[in-house]
């Protein structure tokens, strides 16, 4: 691995793939960090490599600030296939690079790029010779019982590709000590390779003005913003909330916001809780950011029931809006949030019911934790001498 360039001499490239807003937290955090980068970093020190931005949304956003952009297109399935083959048999990658077929590596050389930062959690074959990777979770290991995270083929693919990608990373950004420990043990990665950097609070949720209750037709509700995947644990949440709300004579509602990522799972939920559904629940599916903000501002509290972390954005968003949190005690929750939320066991609906009762019959104090995106960016840049 080459030595780190001297301070102020490093040319940094940001690798970013177009993401849909419906992806949820991955989209939110990526766009927030990107906004901070394009507004603060000197355009002479940075270049953006944009993948599959067919409508030029990212290009226009970045180019507006005068930054150099290179747009690249590649079939994502072909990229995944190459990632698997090259990770499984690295000598094929060496030959591929030798005959100059690796267009990413060729671009790195052409533009005299010193280091590439994968802004999102992306896992491919080593596209570049020196790069920083970002790890949000390793759910194919930590939560392999769910079809969206741990099917047999997914586990095999992810384990082979991720291991190769991370072991070849110059630095790895993650906000979880649990993940650092796991990667050190499983992939034999040195402690010096990690940049411990917690998820920042999305700037939009910090700066926007509060939205009045007069503009919100829904009253007396708890909010759960999460795409409909099994690991988001809607089934136990619905059961626990139903038990709680029956005691409360259906005084409250649980508002669900999120893309229907798994139609079969969504139909199962609707069928199982068909009785008194409208008295207990309101499903809004995917909503725009401004409306999500209004829901945060007018809810009683965020209730977050996911089985998985180790970091999640909704608790940070809720605190930015000065809202209380009722939260699953997923691995990593207390590292991220401390003792701020009322915690519950996500596997037990009765624990969810008790947490809701505790919230309604206690003066649980509001505590707010804000992590600024500017600090997140500064920590990364300082680690690579930018």
Establish whether domains 12-200+373-383 and 204-360 are of one fold.
yes
pTM as predicted: 0.93
> How confident is residue 2, by pLDDT bands cut at 50, 70 and 90?
very low
Q: Give the pLDDT score at 365.
A: 65
Per-residue model confidence (pLDDT) at position 6: 45
The 10s digit of each residue's pLDDT in 126-152 is 999 999 999 999 999 999 999 888 888
Return left, alpha or beta for 305; rule: phi > 0 is left, psi -120 to 50 is alpha, else beta.
alpha
**Average pLDDT in the 84-113 region?**
96
Determine the pLDDT at residue 8.
52
For residue 364, the model assigns a pLDDT of 66
Mean pLDDT of 378-382: 95
270 pLDDT band, cuts 50/70/90, is confident
Spell out the domain ranges in the chain: 12-200+373-383, 204-360
Distances (CA, A) of 154 to 151, 169, 177: 5, 22, 24
Residues 89-98, mean pLDDT to the nearest whole number? 96
- Residue-wise pLDDT tens digits, 165-197: 999 999 999 999 999 999 999 999 999 999 999
CATH topology of domain 12-200+373-383: Rossmann fold (3.40.50)
DSSP secondary structure letter of residue 56: -
For the ranges 31-40, 203-212, 213-222, 320-329, which has the lowest average pLDDT?
A: 213-222
Mean confidence (pLDDT) of the chain: 93
Q: What is the DSSP string of 304-340?
A: E--S--S--HHHHHHHHTT-EEEEE--TTHHHHHTT-
Mean pLDDT along residues 224-236: 96
What value does the mean pLDDT take over residues 11-22? 94
Could you tell me the sign of the dihedral formed by the alpha carbons of 256, 137, 162, 152, in that order? negative
pLDDT of the residue at 149: 85
Q: What is the fold, at CATH topology level, of the domain defined by 204-360?
A: Rossmann fold (3.40.50)
Q: Which segments within the chain are labelled E, that is strand? A: 12-17, 46-51, 68-72, 115-118, 131-134, 171-174, 194-196, 221-225, 253-257, 281-285, 301-304, 324-328, 342-344
Count CA atoms within 13 Å of residue 146 on its CB side. 19
pLDDT tens-digit readout, 251-265? 999 999 999 988 999
């Amino acid at each position: 691995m080459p030595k780190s360039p001297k301070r102020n001499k490093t040319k940094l490239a940001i690798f970013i793939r177009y993401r849909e807003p419906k992806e949820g937290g991955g989209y939110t955090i990526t766009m927030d960090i990107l906004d901070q980068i394009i507004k603060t970093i000197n355009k002479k020190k940075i270049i953006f490599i944009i993948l599959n931005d067919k409508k030029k949304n990212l290009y226009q956003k970045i180019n507006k600030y005068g930054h150099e952009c290179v747009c690249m297109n590649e079939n994502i399935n072909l990229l995944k296939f190459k990632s698997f083959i090259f990770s499984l048999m690295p000598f094929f990658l060496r030959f591929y690079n030798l005959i100059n077929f690796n267009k990413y590596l060729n671009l790195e050389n052409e533009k005299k790029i010193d280091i590439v930062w994968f802004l999102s959690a992306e896992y491919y074959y080593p596209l570049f010779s020196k790069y920083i990777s970002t790890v949000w979770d390793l759910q194919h290991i930590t939560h392999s019982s769910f079809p969206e995270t741990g099917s047999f083929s997914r586990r095999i693919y992810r384990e082979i590709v991720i291991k190769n990608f991370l072991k070849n990373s110059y630095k790895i950004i993650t906000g979880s000590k649990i993940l650092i420990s796991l990667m050190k043990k499983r992939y034999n990665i040195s402690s010096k390779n990690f940049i411990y950097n917690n998820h920042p609070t999305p700037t939009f949720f910090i700066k926007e003005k509060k939205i009045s209750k007069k503009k919100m037709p829904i009253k007396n509700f708890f909010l759960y913003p999460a795409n409909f995947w099994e690991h988001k644990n809607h089934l136990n949440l619905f059961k626990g909330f139903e038990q709680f709300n029956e005691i409360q004579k259906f005084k409250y509602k649980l508002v669900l916001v999120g893309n229907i990522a798994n139609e079969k799972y969504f139909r199962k939920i609707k069928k199982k809780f068909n009785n008194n559904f409208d008295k207990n629940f309101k499903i809004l599916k995917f909503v725009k950011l401004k409306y999500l903000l209004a829901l945060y501002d007018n809810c009683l509290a965020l209730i977050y029931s996911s089985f998985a972390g180790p970091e999640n954005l909704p608790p940070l968003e809720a605190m930015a809006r000065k809202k209380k949190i009722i939260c699953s005690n997923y691995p990593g929750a207390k590292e991220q949030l401390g003792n701020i939320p009322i915690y519950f066991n996500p596997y037990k609906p009765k624990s969810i019911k008790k947490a809701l009762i505790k919230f309604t019959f206690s003066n649980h104090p509001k505590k707010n934790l804000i992590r600024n995106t500017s600090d997140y960016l500064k920590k990364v840049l300082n680690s690579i001498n930018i």
